Amino acid sequence: MLLQAEHISKIYGSGENRVEALKDVSLTVDRGEMLAVMGKSGSGKSTLLHIVGGVDSPNEGSVIFDGELVNPSNEKALAAYRRRKAGFVFQDFKLLLELTVWDNLLLPLTLDRRKPEMEYAEHILSLLGLEEKRNKHPEELSGGQKQRVAIGRAIIHNPDIILCDEPTGQLDSDTEGEILEIFDKLHEQKKTIIIVTHDNKVANRCERTITLSDGKILEK
Ligand SMILES: Nc1ncnc2c1ncn2[C@@H]1O[C@H](COP(=O)(O)OP(=O)(O)OP(=O)(O)O)[C@@H](O)[C@H]1O
Ligand SMILES: [Mg+2]
């Protein structure tokens, strides 16, 4: 087992704005597994992904990664977890507009003051079909191209787990097929991948699907 989330609860806001986004959610993910997380809009999918990735902290419960507690009160360890162990593909890309494609791709390494292995970075760039875009800025790219940069950035530092929020949500079906092939390749390389998706095509590529409903995992 690589990841264990235990009795996770997450509350946003207070008073009449109080939202219980996750209600006592427990989940384990094995090393090398490719897991789909489905559910309606607002069911808590992104919240769950952010919590297991150490981007957001739960109100209750704990996340254990590779036998170690992801401790919300240790910001330094949390930042190291986010930077080294996890790779994120966010729903809204979160590319840095002032950086080129190449610099966005290398960002996890730059932030960590690590020297990129140029050959591997070139390989990722060509895998994603972005060679000709390397010096462009995000605003010059299509949605699919931005998403590909985001995927490259999520895997450039060889993370233990790749966390993806609607990675093909804004893509046409050809581009979606290409992106799914990239995920298949990562899966073949025994990467652990969690993909939030509305799309059955994406979920069908995964070994297992969990469905969230109103902050809880639906029992099958
Ligand atoms: N930062 C926030 N502040 C307040 N409420 C939030 C925040 N983030 C999420 N929520 C609320 O928590 C609930 C779960 O949101 P979440 O974004 O996890 O859902 P989701 O399943 O990812 O939805 P979608 O499919 O639309 O992306 C929703 O009711 C949402 O409005
Ligand atoms: Mg979401």
Of ligand 1's listed atoms, the one at least distance from the Cα of 39 is 21
Asked if residue 156 belongs to a domain, the reply is yes
Name the residue with tokens 């729903």: 91
Of ligand 1's listed atoms, the one at least distance from the Cα of 49 is 18
Q: Across residues 32-57, what is the average pLDDT? A: 96
Predicted pLDDT at 186: 86
Whole-number Å distance between alpha carbons of 153 and 155: 6
Residue 21 CA: which ligand is closest?
A: 1
Asked if residue 8 belongs to a domain, the reply is no
Asked if residue 198 belongs to a domain, the reply is yes
Ligand 1, atom 7, residue with closest C-alpha: 12
Asked if residue 62 belongs to a domain, the reply is no
Asked if residue 10 belongs to a domain, the reply is no
Is pLDDT at 23 greater than 90 in this prediction? yes
Domain containing 121 equals 30-57+68-217
Asked if residue 36 belongs to a domain, the reply is yes
Is pLDDT at 220 greater than 90 in this prediction? no
Is pLDDT at 53 greater than 80 in this prediction? yes
Ligand 1, atom 5, residue with closest C-alpha: 12
Of ligand 1's listed atoms, the one at least distance from the Cα of 10 is 12
Q: Residue type at 61?
A: G
Asked if residue 4 belongs to a domain, the reply is no
Predicted pLDDT at 61: 97
**Band of residue 24 on the pLDDT scale cut at 50, 70, 90:** very high
Q: Across residues 60-77, what is the average pLDDT? A: 94
The total number of structural domains in the chain stands at 1
Predicted pLDDT at 50: 95
Is pLDDT at 4 greater than 90 in this prediction? yes
Residue 17 CA: which ligand is closest?
A: 1
Predicted pLDDT at 182: 82
Q: Across residues 112-136, what is the average pLDDT? A: 92
CATH of the domain at 213: 3.40.50.300
Asked if residue 77 belongs to a domain, the reply is yes
Ligand 1, atom 16, residue with closest C-alpha: 44
Residue 50 CA: which ligand is closest?
A: 1
Ligand 1, atom 24, residue with closest C-alpha: 41
